[in-house]
Each structure stands twice: as structure tokens, then as C-alpha cells.
Amino acid sequence: MSVLNLFRKRNSASAARDRLQILLAHEKTSGPASALLFTLREEILAAIAKHVDVDQTKVNVNMKREETYSIVEIDFEVPEPLPVSRLRVAS
């Protein structure tokens, strides 16, 4: 990193550039994430539903995009004690 880059890091314009680079990279490569996430959520839920009752309204899908990967978290409540109550799927 050059001195110029170090200098640049501090202003808001470089924050804008960084944010847009990440966003646009994701939009170009994967398109809207929702189709994949929708499928993932449905299939994971179906798999779980084979074993436990899950309240479908208490399922939360969270997403954090980074430069080269995304973290997808699917949280749901299970009505009875279960060894794993939270799944983490990286895509």
C-alpha cells in the first residue's frame, strides 16, 4: 500500500469506493441473493422438519457480504432442547 493509499483510507470517498466494490462484485457474480437463500432456507427447514417441529414464522435469515464470500445465518427456534439450535451456512 502506498502512502497515498494510507492517506486516502481516512476520507469518506474511499469508504464509498470500498462499499460499492463489494456490492457490485456480488451483484455481478451472484445476481440477487434471494433466490439462493430462499432455496437454502426451504431445504434446510424441510430437512429439520423431518426431525423437529419448527415454527416457520420464527425463522430468520441474515446475511453479511464480504469481498470474496458471504456469511448466511439461518436462525430458528426449536420448541425442545436440541444439540444444534443454530445453523451457519457459508456460501
Partner 1 sequence: MGEVVVVTSGKGGVGKTTTTAALGAALAAAGDTVCVIDFDVGLRNLDLVLGAERRVVFDFINVIQGHAKLTQALIRDKRLENLWLLPASQTRDKDALTEEGVEYVINDLRSRFDWVICDSPAGIERGAALAMRHADLAVVVSNPEVSSVRDSDRIIGLLDAKTERAERGEGIPKYLLLTRYNAARASRGDMMAVEDVLEILSIPLLGIIPESEEVLKASNVGSPVTLSNPASRPAVAYAEAARRLRGEDLGEVVVPVHKNGLFGKLFGRNAA
**Residue from 10, 28, 51, 64 in contact with partner 1 (CB under 8 A):** 64
In the block, residue with C-alpha cell 422438519: 49
DSSP string, 43-80: HHHHHHHTTS---GGGEEEEEEE-SS-EEEEEEE--SS
Pattern 11-50, binding to partner 1, x per CB under 8 A?
Answer: -xx-xx--x--xx---x----xxx--xx------------
* Separation of alpha carbons 61 and 73, rounded Å: 6
Subset of 70-89 contacting partner 1 (CB under 8 A):
none
90 binds partner 1 (CB under 8 A): no
Start-to-end CA span in the chain (Å)? 29
Question: Can you give the binding site for partner 1, defined by CB under 8 A?
Answer: 12-13, 15-16, 19, 22-23, 27, 32-34, 37-38, 57, 59-66
